[in-house]
Amino acid sequence: MKTGRKISGGKYHKSRKSKKYEQAGEPRMVKLGKEKKKKLKMLGGKMKTVLLSTSTVNIINKKTKKSEKAKIKNVIETPSNKFLARQNILMKSAIIETDKGKARITNRPSQEGCVNAVLIG
């Protein structure tokens, strides 16, 4: 049978429409550029600061166990989608080129207000 239909052929009808809090929000893509942030209202009156674009990253060096700020030069590779690297979009597990060396992004910049990365190579 076709999906969304009863065995008799009749249609299933929704009991109600979706509420505003159940609907998906707009996808945010963090681009490489001048720093730009936005505050969003969340459930329970909370506020979330999201990143829209940035040019700095917090890098953690595994050997020295210290963190420092660095400037992002370019996005080299994005494992989830190769076309996003061409557009210089920052997302989790993307490999970026900084003035300290190559690094992999370890957080989700579109959900948080910063970009964190770990040095590789």
Q: Which CATH number goes with the domain that contains 110?
A: 3.10.290.70
Task: Report the pLDDT averaged over residues 70-80.
Answer: 94
Q: Is residue 95 part of a domain?
A: yes
What is the domain extent for residue 78? 29-119
Q: Record the pTM.
A: 0.80
Per-residue model confidence (pLDDT) at position 1? 53
Q: Say how many domains are in the chain.
A: 1
Q: Is residue 61 part of a domain?
A: yes
Q: Is residue 19 part of a domain?
A: no
User: What's the token pair of residue 55?
Assistant: 């040019």
Q: Is residue 35 part of a domain?
A: yes
**Interval 57-69: pLDDT, tens:** 999 988 888 999 9
Strand runs labelled E in 55-100:
56-61, 66-77, 89-90, 95-98
**Interval 86-119: pLDDT, tens:** 999 999 999 999 999 999 999 999 998 999 999 9
Mean pLDDT of the chain: 91
Report phi then psi at 74, rounded to 5: -160, 155
**Interval 1-55: pLDDT, tens:** 577 889 898 999 989 999 988 898 888 899 999 999 999 988 899 999 999 999 9
Task: Report the pLDDT averaged over residues 62-83.
Answer: 92
Per-residue model confidence (pLDDT) at position 121? 73
Q: Is residue 3 part of a domain?
A: no
Asked whether 55 and 72 are in contact (CB, 8 A), the reply is yes
Per-residue model confidence (pLDDT) at position 43? 87
